[in-house]
Copies of this chain bind each other. A is one copy, B any other.
Amino acid sequence: MNKDEMIQFYKEYEEKLSAYQTALETIAFDQATIAPKAGEDARNQASAMLHGELFSHMTNEHAMKVMDDLTKEDIEPILLKSIQQRLRSIRDIRILPKEVYVDYERTSSKTQSMWEKAKKANDYKLYEPYLIKLIEKKKNLLTYRKESLSDYEKLLDDFEEGMSIEKYEVFFQEIKTKLIPFIKEIQTKGKAIDTTPLEVLFPINKQTEFMKVLQSYMNYDSNYCYMGVSMHPFTTKLCDNDLRITTAYHEHALTSSIFSTIHEYGHALYSLQVDRKYAGSILMDNMSMGMQESQSRMLENCIGRTKAYWINNYKPLQNLFPEQLSNISFDDFIKMINASKPSLIRTEADELTYPLHILIRYEIEKAIFNDNINCEHLDELWADKYEEYLGVRPLNDAEGILQDIHWSVGEFGYFPTYALGSGFAAQFFKQMKQDIDVDDLLANNNFSAISEWLKENIHQYGSYLNANEILTKVTGHDFDPSIYTDYLINKYKEIYHI
């Protein structure tokens, strides 16, 4: 094959992978939102089969050779970068002997189902031996990777390219030394905020109506985006120009559907605003986990929880729920949606205490993979750290080490990107406030100017630039964790008057 033929071959390869992804994401979205329960087994079987087909195409020997060859040719930068990222996405798989890979997948799948059982039974001991076995196998996989990185660094790199462990250390030290004492200070000196008025009955049909208010405020375009309902909110791209977000409604938690919608819309907007010049390539979708979370969390927290965001949205909310909200002042509402209180469940944590949940997971992962600690009694290590950092101790496994699925499917190194996203968000947000009058725009129903800023400064690049390249381009410097802690401390000093 000459260069042009190889390029043509590569484009068809990407088209094929993307067709399988469309199929798998469509089936998964359907399953999570509307699919009748009785079809689950057959649907899972079909998905597994198609995953296998996708995997075979993705790791096709000939395709990998063509890509390797192309990276040595003189090709244009977008094409080169998209090939490099595709190769990176299969790099770990290529180097593994097939039997090692299959054995690992089997272990992981078994561990996940044991985690489900153990969580239901609220009994970590059922799952512990499987988790320990999975960690061993994961360590074994890492021996095939020859980069001069420690085990945990390899894992971190999988989810956030270019974030070295030194940078993570600085980040988590910043969280640990600044936020832990600050949170304790709020607990002792701040006046507790009563959020129970937002936990009375809020009928779901009215909540659904309010989502339309928010969608309209944020210029949600139903030609490009569809919103469904699922047990856990998520965002998925089905194909070009087709983003799906979901929310979950809870009768006794008004803010749950609201902030999950704003959060997921942040993800969707990111995908929708990538420059079309990357169409047909992995660069449209391959944004890092930290970058993805930065966009959802910035919208949810830095923007969605401000007075300016609510100045025109609180009245419609009150109108929909006159009995529940007419006696709650605007200022009190803003306080309630920003209340902070140490708790046990990560996904329910507020903006301020959230990074401590991640700190705990980061320290445990690092201990497992870099310090090779004995992995028995991780549940106790978990509980001790919650008690030490957050002042709360899980009374059972379900609200402790069993709460998250990630480790059971071998996703070690993933959690840190959640906190990183908030860190990136704070740095982007500081710059945004310098560039445009965010509060004024939000208060004047000009959300499109916010979207535009995000598109110009961040979204357009897709994964053509990585997190640090974008941060530097937009803010003039590398990731700086102190901006994040400053943001949180300043914000919460005002909320709690300390």
- Which residues does A use to contact B, with CB under 8 Å? 15-16, 18-20, 22-24, 26-27, 29-30, 34-39, 41-43, 45-47, 49-50, 53, 222-226, 228, 238-243
CB-CB under 8 A from A239, the residues of chain B are 39, 42-43, 45-46
Ranked 10 nearest A-B pairs via Cβ:
A39-B242, A19-B49, A42-B240, A23-B23, A42-B239, A22-B46, A38-B241, A19-B46, A39-B241, A38-B223
Known: A23-B46, A36-B223, A38-B223. 7 other contacts (CB 8 A): A15-B49, A22-B43, A23-B26, A35-B242, A36-B224, A39-B241, A39-B242
List the B side residues contacting A50 at CB < 8 Å: 19-20, 23
CA distance A491 to B458 in the complex (A): 69
Residues of B within 8 A of A242 (CB): 35-36, 38-39, 42-43
A490, B53: Cα distance in complex, Å: 57
CA distance A221 to B19 in the complex (A): 32
| Oligomer copy total | 2
A226 CA / B36 CA spacing, docked (Å): 6
14 pairs, A vs B, C-beta closer than 8 Å: A19-B45, A19-B47, A22-B43, A26-B26, A29-B30, A34-B226, A36-B224, A36-B225, A36-B241, A38-B242, A39-B224, A39-B239, A41-B240, A42-B242
Contact A241 B42 (CB under 8 A): yes
Residues of B within 8 A of A41 (CB): 240-241
Minimum distance in angstroms from A489 CB to a CB of chain B? 41
CB distance from A189 to the nearest CB of B (A): 49
Docked Cα-Cα span, A53 to B38, in Å, equals 27
A30-B26 CB under 8 A given contacts A19-B46, A242-B42:
yes
Chain B residues within 8 Å of A243, by CB = 36
In the docked arrangement, what's the CA distance between A177 and B90, Å? 69
CB distance from A231 to the nearest CB of B (A): 16
How long is the Cα–Cα vector from A16 to B50 in the complex, in angstroms? 8
The answer to whether A238 and B39 touch across the interface, beta carbons within 8 angstroms, is yes
Contact A240 B39 (CB under 8 A): yes
Alpha-carbon distance A45/B223, docked complex (angstroms): 18
Most chain B CB atoms below 10 A, which of A19, A34, A241, A242:
A19
Give Cα distance in the complex from A34 to B24, angstroms: 17
A43 to chain B, nearest CB (A): 5
Chain B nearest CB, measured from A252 CB (Å): 25
List the B side residues contacting A43 at CB < 8 Å: 22, 238-239, 242
Most B Cβ at <10 Å: residue of A37, A43, A222: A43
Nearest residue, chain B, Cβ from A49? B19
Contact among B22, B27, B37, B46 with A223 in the assembled complex (CB-CB below 8 Å):
B37
Known A43-B242, A242-B36; judge A22-B15 contact (CB<8 A): no
**In the complex, are the beta carbons of A226 and B35 less than 8 A apart?**
yes
CA gap between A53 and B22 in the complex, in Å: 14
**Contact of A22 with B18 at beta-carbon distance under 8 Å, contacts A35-B238, A42-B241 already known:** no
Docked Cα-Cα span, A49 to B23, in Å, equals 11
Nearest Cβ in chain B — how far from A118, in angstroms? 27
Which B residues are in CB contact (< 8 Å) with A24? Answer: 23
Most buried by B among A18, A22, A239, A243: A239
CB distance from A56 to the nearest CB of B (A): 11
